[in-house]
Amino acid sequence: MATKKQKNWWVYLILFAGILLMLIPLLVTIISSFKTTREITGNFFGLPEEWTLANYLRLFEDGVIQYFGNSALITILAVGLIIAIIPMAAFAIARHMDRKKSFAIMYMLLIIGIFVPFQVIMIPMTKLMSQLGLSNITGLVLLYLAYAVPQTLFLYVGYIKTIVPKDMDEAAAIDGCGKFTMYWRIIFPLMKPMHATVLIINALWVWNDFLLPLLVLNKDQKMWTMPLFQYNYQGMYFSDYGPSFASYVVGIIPILIVYLIFQKNIISGMTSGAVK
């Protein structure tokens, strides 16, 4: 009698094919970063005749550290503010929306932003940021915080209503904890799986985002992020592919490390936060 694994061999075959589809472009990018442009154009999928770090050395000479630092700073600040501020709003809404219509209305108005296409607000947003003098890193971080509210609030509210019982609030109150103390010492630590999920989702978005930095930061080269640098770098050296591939590898490594660290908590956070 065939086992269940033998019957589902085609499932493993599809998964293996999917893994190859994801890994092959990554491996080609990494290998190409150690090849000369002549080797890339002559034998794109082959191994380099001689492994070289010249592409990376040239990349560092062209100031990649500054743009890497800009992206890192923006990502850390934006994700830090998202995780520090939005869960507080989510906790207040989750605890009161069933009893007070004002909280339910506020919640609906905030998450309705999920359905607003970015193209609709792109031009007004750019003009407003320019008029406020926020066409800089500070303004970009605030924009990321604002745009993260709908989806992140939805996830946190669902997680709190599903996973964090109200009995904990009452037990903490009996022990003499105020609202603020109760939230930071009891409720906030209980949301670690959702924190990990939100961190990965938003870190990936902020680190790889191209359009918002293009609209807000493109006027000043010193404030470029890694995607902006890669876009302009490829334009400057359109016939020299080696340094471009090296810049892609440098941009991939940090977010890949963050994902590997927090990936254990992602699935539990996503499934729990999307129940209600």
* pLDDT per residue rounded down to tens, the chain (276 residues): 455 555 577 788 888 888 888 888 888 888 888 988 888 888 888 888 888 888 899 888 888 899 999 999 999 999 999 999 999 999 999 988 888 889 899 999 999 888 888 888 888 888 988 899 888 999 999 999 999 999 999 999 988 888 877 777 777 777 777 778 888 888 888 888 889 889 988 998 999 999 999 999 888 888 999 999 888 877 665 567 888 888 889 888 888 888 777 766 665 545 454 444
Considering the entire predicted model, what is its pTM? Answer: 0.84
State residue 264's pLDDT score.
Answer: 67
Q: Give residue 193's identity as a one-letter amino acid code.
A: P
Give CA–CA dist 216/143, Å, rounded. Answer: 10
- Among 103, 203, 119, smallest CA distance to 161 is for 103
Provide the b/e sequence for 61-74 (b: ≥16 CB within 10 Å): ebebeebbebbeeb
State residue 205's pLDDT score.
Answer: 92
Distances (CA, A) of 233 to 83, 153, 248: 33, 37, 11
